[in-house]
């Protein structure tokens, strides 16, 4: 069965006469637990909720797949209250004082800040190297966790996940991939050898810019180097920390998953068309999108991704040019985040988090008619 079909069907309830076809949100803090609480499926909502169960099953369907060796695997997923909560869950499940974590120097700022401000003071050593050229490979000696982000945000650099996973495992490190930009439909980190596939579901998976959520997936039965089950460690950590997703948000996210194949296909098609258009404009100094055949990341991205994602970046001559472009545009919403059905963009350097040009614009293609987007971008670029 093809993955798009699996995704759509995974959001439906099992066939039972008279029962609704779709899951609904279950609002509860405690559940009825007479007798031995171990005999009930649900006891208290910090530990589990039926709406999570349905959502996690659907996410696990997307994350399941086949290793490069040809061996199939089933994934297990856990949902969290935000993407950053999912990042923290992986850090907490793997690292202890004295351990070394290797992060991309150009990954999502929230992940770097979380490590620097919360885990480093606990005794974790943080090493950083760029995504491009698999530079993190040189920092693996003695590491316990290799954190990857591919494509990176906002430069859209790509690393070889399979190669780096192999090198990390040989060095005794587990591998986690922030797969938010690609989505698990566009790229399967677990199939490429990673131990954790993490995503901010606030972005493309929910797709409407109206909720916060995240998830982490692992292969069923996967363990760390000591033999501890990775899923069990994540589950215990979530229950203890309480970094949970509300039932309404879980239901909205589950409801959105069924349209992910359609939304992602349209957004990726629009992103490629916009990237090609921008490449031909004299006002644009550089376009970064791995879907372009001229992009230095294209060959590797084409090998390990099913599609190239909705996000692209381009550089205008300076801050004023980027600000003017965003002000003149009528169809691009000036906002942070990405992955919605509507097109968004921002001058990314305004946050001061990344070593990028002042005129860099990160754009997330939505599902509008691409001809309208091109016309609007053309007029917004004119000086």
Catalytic amino acids?
A: 46, 108, 178, 203
Peptide linkage before 151 cis (omega within 30 of 0): yes
Cα pseudo-dihedral 264, 230, 94, 339, rounded to 10: 10
Peptide linkage before 309 cis (omega within 30 of 0): no
> Treating both helix axes as pointing N-terminal to C-terminal, what angle do 3-10 and 50-63 enclose, rounded to 10 degrees?
180
Burial of 29 (0-12, 13-18, 19+ CB in 10 A): exposed
| DSSP percent split of the chain into helix, strand, coil, nearest 5 | 40, 15, 45
Distances (CA, A) of 86 to 174, 198, 325, 382: 16, 7, 34, 42
Task: State how far the Cα of 14 lies from the Cα of 29, in Å rounded to an integer.
Answer: 25
Task: List Cβ neighbours of 197 (8 Å cut-off, separation of 6 or more).
Answer: 63, 75, 176, 177, 179, 184, 188, 189, 190, 216, 217, 218
Task: State how far the Cα of 340 lies from the Cα of 211, in Å rounded to an integer.
Answer: 11
How far apart, in Å, do the first and last CA atoms of the chain sit?
51
Cα pseudo-dihedral 76, 82, 86, 92, rounded to 10: -140
Q: β-strands 286-288, 311-315: how paired?
A: antiparallel
């Amino acid at each position: 069965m093809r993955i798009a079909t699996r995704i759509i069907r995974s959001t439906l309830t099992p066939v039972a006469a008279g029962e609704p076809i779709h899951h609904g949100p279950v609002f509860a803090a405690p559940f009825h637990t007479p007798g031995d609480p171990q005999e009930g499926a649900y006891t208290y909502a910090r530990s589990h909720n039926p709406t999570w169960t349905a959502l996690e099953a659907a996410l696990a369907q997307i994350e399941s797949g086949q290793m490069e060796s040809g061996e199939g695997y089933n994934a297990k997923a856990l949902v969290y209250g935000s993407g950053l909560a999912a990042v923290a869950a992986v850090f907490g499940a793997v690292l202890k004082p004295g351990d070394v974590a290797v992060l991309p120097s150009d990954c999502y700022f929230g992940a770097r800040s979380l490590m620097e401000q919360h885990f480093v003071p606990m005794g974790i050593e943080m090493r950083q190297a760029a995504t491009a050229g698999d530079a993190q490979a040189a920092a693996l000696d003695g590491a316990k966790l290799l954190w990857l982000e591919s494509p990176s945000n906002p430069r859209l650099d790509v690393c070889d996940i399979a190669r780096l996973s192999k090198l990390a495992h040989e060095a005794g490190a587990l591998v986690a991939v922030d797969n938010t930009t690609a989505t698990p439909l566009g790229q399967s980190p677990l199939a490429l050898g990673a131990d954790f596939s993490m995503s901010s579901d606030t972005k493309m998976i929910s797709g409407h810019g109206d909720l916060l959520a995240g998830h982490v997936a692992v292969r069923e039965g996967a363990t760390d180097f000591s033999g501890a089950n990775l899923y069990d460690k994540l589950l215990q950590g979530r229950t203890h920390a309480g970094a949970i997703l509300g039932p309404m948000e879980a239901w909205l996210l589950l409801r959105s998953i069924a349209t992910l194949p359609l939304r992602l296909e349209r957004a990726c098609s629009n992103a490629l068309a916009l990237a090609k258009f921008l490449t031909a404009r004299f006002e644009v100094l550089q376009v970064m999108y791995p879907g372009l055949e001229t992009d230095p990341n294209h060959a590797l991205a084409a090998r390990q991704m099913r599609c190239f994602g909705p996000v692209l970046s381009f550089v205008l001559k300076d801050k004023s040019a980027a600000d003017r472009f965003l002000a003149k545009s009528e169809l691009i919403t000036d906002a942070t985040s990405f992955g919605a059905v509507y097109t968004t963009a921002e001058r990314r350097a305004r946050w001061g988090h990344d070593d990028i040009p002042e005129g860099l614009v990160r754009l997330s293609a939505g599902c509008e008619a691409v001809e309208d987007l091109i016309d609007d971008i053309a007029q917004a670029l004119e000086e």
